[in-house]
Chain A
Amino acid sequence: MIKSKTKKVEPTIDEANAFVQRHGLSGLKPEYLARLRELIAPVAFYGQQVRRSPHKDNPLASEFTAFKS
């Protein structure tokens, strides 16, 4: 795991509201918006937990479909 230098900053409801407005999710009910706000910090944290490749030329995983005709 990489040592994360990010900080776990709790998002405000305004931040969550701005996100849903920007991404076409403004139809979410207020209680769903509140839940989305709760999810922002952990999703960012989990994203930083993913080990980064040390080599810039390492590509993505391929699709393992060896048996497709």
Chain B
Amino acid sequence: MTSKLNKNSTPLWAITLAEASARIAKQTLSPSDLLEAYLERIAAVDDRIHSYIHVAAEQARIAAAQAGKEIAAGHWKGPLHGLPFAVKDNYDVAGMPATAGSRLRLKHVPLQDAALVQQLKAAGAVLIGKLSTWEFGTGNGGEYFDLPFPPARNPWDLDRFTGGSSTGAGASVAAGTTLFALGSDTTGSVRLPAAACGAIGMIPTPGRLSTQGILPNCWSLDIPGPLAWTVEDCAMILDALFDKSNGAKATQPSLRRSVGQPIVGLRIAVVDDPGLGFPNADPPLRKGFEQALKVLEQLGAQLTRIKLPISAAECFAASRMIGPAETAAIHERELKEQAELMGFALRDKLMAGSLVRAVDYLAAQRLRRTVATSLEALMQGYDALVTFGTLHMPPRLGVEPEMTAFTVETMLTPFNLSGHPAMMQCNGFYKGMPLNWQIVGNRADEATIIRVASAYEKATTWRKKRAQPS
């Protein structure tokens, strides 16, 4: 099968969402041709990376043909019309299996779409299928090869971990088996796979996006988020979702308008010290971080080095009470009645959560308030904050201590606890594997994150490199 090429001989699976959108709107590219390029890509590489649990090729073909007809008839619905996407398998899609990567839910077929899926379909986007995930979108940081589906593999190096829990979302965006994906994050599950796979992964301010129809993991901290290849692509997805999600009364200003805006004079806090309890970042990540700071300085940003008021390790300690306890409460019946059907990681987390004392859970929720108020006060003095994402390079798949360290020792949890929007961005490569950093905004100010990240992206060349799983 010959891959469909665009005018510059770039395969269609490798063009950006922004370019695909423009070409579809101009009718120089049909939704069906674009979809076929992704289906060809899936056929070519997905047996190596296992980014999908379920590919709904025929349903997607029908939706793409329908989009093509609508656009040809002059009924263009907006920038996502005719664009293919996929969702983590903890999202409900009517009539499609929603296994959440678990033996317990192999026969679970929802009757309704999750709210975000509904929104994307209404915007004319074409659902390709469901993406790999850790069981129930949660776990203990490792992969144990004991689930009904093989673990996703990192498209930059098949022997390396994708990060979790939105494993397939990270792998698919990086490998080009989807144009964009939706994942979910509790303490890093969107940003970790984005980091390991070199994609953009973003959590907006909590409440921006509906969690309806997503299998809950932790009521206090769950937040959906998109994964895409470029900052502009991410902005376009959020523009489509913000407008109507959760019944928002007011239309949000377009995030896409922040793409390409100068960052001269922006006050950016820099956290280059993980603080007590966690190791310093791996040398390649430190080097990538410092080089990225230089780019921001050259672009005219004002950088100020600060420390987090409460260390990332302390934040993680709080999340280690909140997350497992809530997960155990949500899935108590399954642990009591079907523990033998679970993989090790989920069962372990549910048993640990069952052992959490209420006093310790409540102490963690009180600390969360302190984290939120102190970070809020700190952030008010700045337009944005940059820090490390992960503190380790993507580890070897199956090497449990390395995977757990990659998952646990991060700078991600503070912003889950505090409710600040945050983006993971690739800021270089080391020995073929992506580096990463994290850009954090004030609450409700995703636009500044987009502005900083897009300025950095435009000033660097990292987006030109694509993964070729082999």
Residues of A in contact with B (beta carbons under 8 Å apart)? 1, 19, 23-25, 27-29, 32, 35-36, 39-40, 43-44, 46-53, 58-69
Contact = CB atoms under 8 A, between A and B. Distances in A.
Contacts of B362: 60
Given A1-B317, A47-B321, A61-B365, 19 more contacts: A27-B337, A29-B339, A36-B351, A39-B351, A39-B355, A46-B320, A46-B360, A50-B317, A51-B363, A51-B367, A59-B366, A61-B220, A61-B368, A62-B369, A66-B205, A66-B206, A67-B205, A67-B245, A69-B246
Contact of A50 (B245, B340, B363): B363
Interface string B242-276: 00011111000000000000000000000000000
**Which 3 pairs, one residue from A and one from B, show the smallest C-beta to C-beta distance?**
A47-B360, A64-B419, A65-B207
Given A25-B335, A27-B337, A43-B355, A64 B206 contact: yes
Given A35-B348, A39-B351, A40-B355, A27 B207 contact: no
Given A1-B314, A46-B321, A67-B207, A52 B352 contact: no
Contacts of A24: 336
B366 A53 contact: yes
Interface string B348-388: 10011011110110111111111010000000000000000
Interface in B402-458: 417, 419, 443-444
Contacts of A52: 363, 366
A50 B443 contact: no
B318 interface: yes
Interface of B: 205-208, 219-220, 245-249, 310, 314, 317-318, 320-321, 324, 335-337, 339-340, 347-348, 351-352, 354-357, 359-360, 362-370, 372, 417, 419, 443-444
Interface SS majority for chain A: loop
A54 B268 CA distance: 31
Contact of B369 (A44, A50, A59): A59
B357 A66 contact: no
A60 B417 CA distance: 12
Given A39-B348, A60-B366, A67 B246 contact: yes
B365 A58 contact: no
A69 B249 contact: yes
Contact of B321 (A27, A40, A50, A63): A50
12 contacts: A28-B335, A39-B352, A40-B355, A43-B352, A43-B355, A50-B364, A51-B363, A59-B366, A65-B207, A67-B205, A67-B248, A68-B247
Decide if the interface of chain B is mainly helix, strand, loop or mixed: helix
Contacts of B249: 69
Contacts of A19: 355
A48 B347 contact: no
Contacts of B347: 32, 35
Nearest to B359: A47
- Of listed A29, A32, A49, A52, residue having the most chain B CB within 10 A: A49
Contacts of B321: 46-47, 50
Contact of B356 (A23, A43, A69): A43
A32 B354 contact: no
Question: Which one of B337, B354, B355, B362 has the greatest number of beta carbons of chain A within 10 Å?
Answer: B355
B351 A69 contact: no
A61 to B, nearest CB: 4
Given A27-B339, A43-B352, A66-B444, A49 B317 contact: yes
Nearest to A48: B360
A25 B352 contact: no
B48 to A, nearest CB: 33
A32 B365 CA distance: 29
